[in-house]
Amino acid sequence: MATAALARPAFKPSPYLVGAGALFVVAFVYAMYLKLTLGHAGFNTTNYGVFWGLPIVAYDYFLLTSTGLTLLASLPLTLGLRQFDPIAKRCIWLALAALVGGVAILFMELAHPFRALWAAPLNFQTASPLFWKILCVGAYTIVLVLLALTFARGTAPAAVPKPLALLATVLALAITLIAGSVYSMMIFRPFWYGGELPVAFLIESFMGGIVFFVFFTYLIHGFSVDSVPQSTRELLAGSVGTFVAAAIFLHILFAVVRTVAGLWSYGEGLQVWRYTVDQPLYWAALIGGGIVPLVIFALPALRAQPWLQILGAVLVALGLLASRYEFVINGQLLPPFKGSWAPSPLSYEPSQLEWMLLIVGVLLANTVYAALESWSSTKES
């Protein structure tokens, strides 16, 4: 007697996936139209000062968010803290999605992105942090894909191969520290130069990863608090919320101390600090993206409220993007070795094309994450 084979459940895209995917296609087509018609003139960067614009800001932002999510996932996967098992899978999927979105922005900014894939590693410029950053990002991408596939097969966090999880943690840590070193080793850019930056990048990476997890946990459940598993809600109101508060506090401490030192110093090129504190963006990032969410996550009574968790996560995410923007852009506003006599800082505003690349990266990251969640839901049904 023949037995009927069980039919595999068909892939069912969620409304979130359909919406994010459709918006991504529209945004990508328009961004490519702008780039093909305007060429590199569509970017508001220049050859006499501001070389890195909004796309580089966005790339760094997404890359560090990805490594922060992987470091958060390392709590159960590498350190064996089983109480954090409920967050592991979502952290890895969000890490992969953020990485894809960030790298896509960088590729769309480059004139010859595919040439960079082989030319950058093969130039063997081992003295440059960028050389090691590219190698680590390549390896990190492969490891994240393997981890995502492992979870997609239904593997429990405790059963994830420990060497694979440890490699992901080491690469995430290395990328974060190297990304800080890219800036901190530029002595001709006094606004950036300093050995403390890699540690600051590590703190901000971890902070960004946690708030992404908080926001997207509620988003994937349609912002319905009752749909979020009880174990996850307890972590958000407990240990995870405490981690956010600690990271925000260290981030604020770093920003304030660095600002005071920059304003006090009369070193060449540090005049840009006066320009920095005169901008509303600086105070919006410090107060709106730092102090306000710190109050929310530091006080247990406020941290226990889901909508305040969501608000705090959004404020931190936006504040980090604003901080990354002012850090990258303001560090280029005074020409090297001309800070003591430059009449005024250079000017830069993102162009329409640069804004579109950011939007494309955000939508692509959402599409990738929604696809992974839909795939998981299909396999579990």
Please report the pLDDT score of residue 339 as a whole number: 52
Q: Answer whether residue 326 is part of any domain.
A: yes
Residue 124 contacts residue 131 (beta carbons within 8 Å): yes
Q: Answer whether residue 185 is part of any domain.
A: yes
pLDDT at 64 over 50: yes
301 three-state secondary structure = helix
Please report the pLDDT score of residue 4 as a whole number: 47
Residue owning tokens 């300093």 = 194
Question: How far apart are the C-alpha atoms of 79 and 76, rounded to whole Å?
Answer: 6
Quickly state the pLDDT bin for 377 (edges 50, 70, 90).
Answer: low
Question: How far apart are the C-alpha atoms of 49 and 122, rounded to whole Å?
Answer: 28
Question: How far apart are the C-alpha atoms of 166 and 147, rounded to whole Å?
Answer: 11
pLDDT at 172 over 80: yes
Q: Answer whether residue 132 is part of any domain.
A: yes
Question: How far apart are the C-alpha atoms of 309 and 297, rounded to whole Å?
Answer: 7
30 three-state secondary structure = helix
Q: Answer whether residue 1 is part of any domain.
A: no
Q: What is the Cα gyration radius of the chain?
A: 21
Sign of CA dihedral 228, 18, 105, 352: negative
Question: How far apart are the C-alpha atoms of 2 and 352, rounded to whole Å?
Answer: 63
Residue 157 corresponds to which tokens in the numbers above?
């966090």
Q: What would the DSSP string read from start to end of 56-102?
A: HHHHHHHHHHHHHHHHHHHHHHTS--GGGHHHHHHHHHHHHHHHHHH
pLDDT at 54 over 60: yes
Among candidates 351, 334, 352, 353, which has minimal Cα distance to 343? 334
* Range from 146-150, 182-186, 243-247, 256-260 carrying the lowest mean pLDDT: 182-186
Q: Answer whether residue 6 is part of any domain.
A: no
Please report the pLDDT score of residue 111 as a whole number: 74
Task: From residue 286, give the alpha-carbon distance in Å to each of 185, 226, 283, 294, 316.
Answer: 25, 33, 5, 11, 10
372 three-state secondary structure = helix
Look up the domain containing 305 and give its range: 15-40+53-380
Q: Answer whether residue 9 is part of any domain.
A: no
Distance of CA 196 to the CA centre of its chain: 20
Q: Answer whether residue 47 is part of any domain.
A: no
Residue 14 contacts residue 374 (beta carbons within 8 Å): yes
Quickly state the pLDDT bin for 9 (edges 50, 70, 90).
Answer: low
pLDDT tens by residue, 74-125: 999 999 999 999 999 999 999 999 999 999 999 998 877 777 777 777 888 8
Q: How many domains does the chain have?
A: 1
Q: Which CATH number does the domain housing residue 102 bear?
A: 1.20.1630.10
Question: How far apart are the C-alpha atoms of 329 and 202, rounded to whole Å?
Answer: 20
For the question of whether the overall pTM of this predicted structure is more than 0.95, the answer is no
Question: How far apart are the C-alpha atoms of 100 and 68, rounded to whole Å?
Answer: 15
What value does the mean pLDDT take over residues 62-74? 96
Please report the pLDDT score of residue 284 as a whole number: 95
* Range from 4-13, 34-43, 206-215, 292-301 carrying the lowest mean pLDDT: 4-13
Among candidates 23, 14, 66, 12, which has minimal Cα distance to 360? 23
Q: Answer whether residue 3 is part of any domain.
A: no
Q: What is the DSSP letter of 7?
A: P
Question: How far apart are the C-alpha atoms of 242 and 84, rounded to whole Å?
Answer: 14
pLDDT tens by residue, 321-343: 999 999 999 988 887 766 555 56
Residue 109 contacts residue 56 (beta carbons within 8 Å): yes
